[in-house]
Amino acid sequence: MTSNPPAKDKIILPLDVPDAAAAVRLVTQVAEVIRFYKVGLELFTRCGPSVIEQVRAAADGSEPCRIFLDLKLHDIPNTVARAVRNAASLGVDMLTVHLAGGGAMIRAAASEAPENLLLLGVTVLTSSDAGTLRETGVSDDVETQVMRLARLGVDHGLRGVVASPLEVVALRARFGDRLKIVTPGVRPAWATGGGDDQRRVMTPGEAIRVGADYLVIGRPISGDPDPKAAARRIAEETAFVQPVSS
C-alpha cells in the first residue's frame, strides 16, 4: 500500500518566479492550502540560500512548511557530495541529483544525505520524449530509460526518484513502496491549456491512483488569477483519492 498523506502535504508548488519578493507573495497567497514548496535553479541562482528562510517565514503557520530544493546536481562525485552536504545544512526536505551522473556520483551523494533528507534521482525530464533521448545517444524508449536509471539509483543508495506520472505504474511494479516517487507533469483537467514544455502529463487524481507519492503542480496554481482558490480546488479534488494498490 502506498502512502496517502493529506493533500496539502503531497502537493508541491514550484516557486518558478524571478525573485524572492515574488516567491514570498505567492507563498503568502497559498500558505493555508499548500505547505510544500519547490525552490529550483531559477530562484536559487538569483537569490541564493537565503530565499529558503524567506519562504519559511512567508509560510509561517501552525505547522512548518517543507522545502524541495530542485538543483538536479550532476558533476564529479566529490563536488556533488559536498553540494549535498551543503544543502543538508539548509534543512531542506528533498534534493535532486541527475541519475545520468552514474553510480559513483550517486553513491557519493547518498553518503552525504542525512536520514531526514530525501535524495531524489531525476530519471527523464517531463519535457523529454523518445526524440530527445535519441539526440543524446539513447535508443531505448522513455519508460525503459526511466526504469534503467531508477534501478541505478536504488542500487547505489537512493530512496526516491523523480519521474513523469506515465512511468509510475512500472516503477511501483518493480520497486513497490520502498521507493518514493515525485511526479512533475501533473495538471488538472480544467487547466489543460498549453504554455509549458511538459509533454508527459496526467491529472492529479490519476497520478495519485497510479501510485505517485508527491505531485509537483506549478502553472495551474501560480498562473491562476486566484492561486489560493486553484490550490484549494486541486486539494479538494485529490483529498480522498487512493492508490489503486491500496
Question: Which residues are designated catalytic?
Answer: 72
Residue 62 CB burial class (10 angstroms; 0-12, 13-18, ≥19): exposed
The tally of CA atoms less than 13 A away on the side-chain side of residue 161 is: 34
Ramachandran angles phi, psi of 221, nearest 5° = -100, -60
Q: Which three cell numbers stand for residue 206?
A: 490519476
3-class SS of residue 29: helix
Give the whole-angstrom CA distance, residue 233 versus residue 155.
39
3-class SS of residue 113: coil
Our CA angle for 212, 234, 38, nearest 5°, is: 60
3-class SS of residue 39: strand
